[in-house]
Amino acid sequence: MNRKTKHDTLAKALDKAYLEVIPTGTIVDRLVHIPHHSFIAITCSPVHGLEPTLKMVEELRALPTERQLKLIPHIAARMVRDKGHLREILARLDRLKVESIFVPGGDAPTPVGEYKGALELLRDVAEIGHNFRSIGVAAHPEGHPLIDHDELLRQLKEKQQFSSYLVTQMCFDPQALISWIKDIRKAGVTLSAWIGLPGVADMTKLISLSLRIGVGQSVKLLKNQKGLLRKMFGVKPYQPDDLLKGLIPYLDDPEINIPGFHLFSFNDVERTERWRAQSLVKLTGVE
């Protein structure tokens, strides 16, 4: 790719990136900074459960037409009690015309009910039936603290029959990401890979919040990459520009299959969206 083509490809991927937010009492009002009809992923708390996620979907659906967004609620398997509860959730989302969900296992140390992981829940979603256009699943390029590599790969291969894309957990090393994607492609995983991209955040906040919401493994590995860490601390706040530069050569590779990015905002919506808008202007020259 020449420079212009690379920039155009990155701009397209960044333009359709979707933003992950955490349900809070103020976050809905702050989403006025997000372009209309953008994709918004709504997380599920291991402490508060699914209800804040579902209520936020209802609140956003009640907004005027000109403020409607494309919603992707997280339905964490370990937060679902049983198949009856799952039926209620699916019916509720159907009434709200939700077209996509993301199904992680969830970070709760103890499941609230019968589901120990995402694969079990995905099977039941398929059996019950649904109207979703797409279903996403989590993937772990740098491993998982409780599940070994072989088991992660086995589960991911099984999940792909019930899902349409994967989202990588946060990772700060583009080469590690690409190497992992190549490995899973060789193993038969064909799901499109949306790259989990850290949004704009102060480094101390980035690390503490990452540990709190369950992506601490990536941060622990980051701490071991001393050269990269020193470089990142030189930028305050952190912005994922270097990570994007490392991914550019692979964005148009059909075998790698990276359609876009999943932006972890940590609810710093304003700064993350401002960074994205400014990056798009730099790449396209269009304000």
Which tens digits make up the pLDDT trace of 225-248? 445 555 555 557 888 998 899 999
pTM of the model as a whole: 0.90
Residue 239 near residue 193 (C-beta atoms within 8 A) = no
- 3-state DSSP helix/strand/coil % of the chain, to nearest 5: 50, 15, 35
Residue 141 near residue 217 (C-beta atoms within 8 A) = no
Residue 155 near residue 230 (C-beta atoms within 8 A) = no
Q: What is the overall mean pLDDT for the chain?
A: 88
Domains and CATH numbers, the chain: 3-284 (3.20.20.220)
- pLDDT for 103 equals 98
65-107 tens-digit pLDDT: 888 999 999 999 999 999 999 999 999 999 999 999 999 999 8
- pLDDT for 277 equals 92
Calculate mean pLDDT across residues 179-200: 96
Reading phi first (left if > 0) and then psi (alpha if -120 to 50, else beta), residue 267 is in left
134-181 tens-digit pLDDT: 999 999 988 777 788 899 999 999 999 999 999 998 888 899 899 999
- pLDDT for 215 equals 53
The highest-confidence range among 15-24, 141-150, 212-221, by mean pLDDT, is 15-24
Cα 148 from chain centroid? 21
Please say if the pLDDT value at position 213 is more than 60.
no
- pLDDT for 218 equals 53
Name the DSSP letter for residue 23: -
Query: What number of other Cβ atoms are within 10 A of residue 131's Cβ?
Result: 10
- pLDDT for 138 equals 95
Helix H or strand E segment including 263: strand 261-264
Instruction: Classify 119 as helix, strand or coil.
Output: helix
- pLDDT for 225 equals 46
Among candidate residues 111, 103, 207, 108, the one with its CA nearest the CA of residue 164:
103
pLDDT band at 109 (very low <50, low <70, confident <90, very high): confident
The highest-confidence range among 43-47, 132-136, 141-145, 267-271, by mean pLDDT, is 132-136
Cα separation of 178 and 9, whole Å?
17
- pLDDT for 274 equals 93
Among candidate residues 35, 7, 47, 52, the one with its CA nearest the CA of residue 249:
7
Please say if the pLDDT value at position 38 is more than 80.
yes
Q: C-alpha distances in angstroms, 118 versus 56, 123, 138, 195? A: 22, 9, 9, 19
Calculate mean pLDDT across residues 100-116: 93
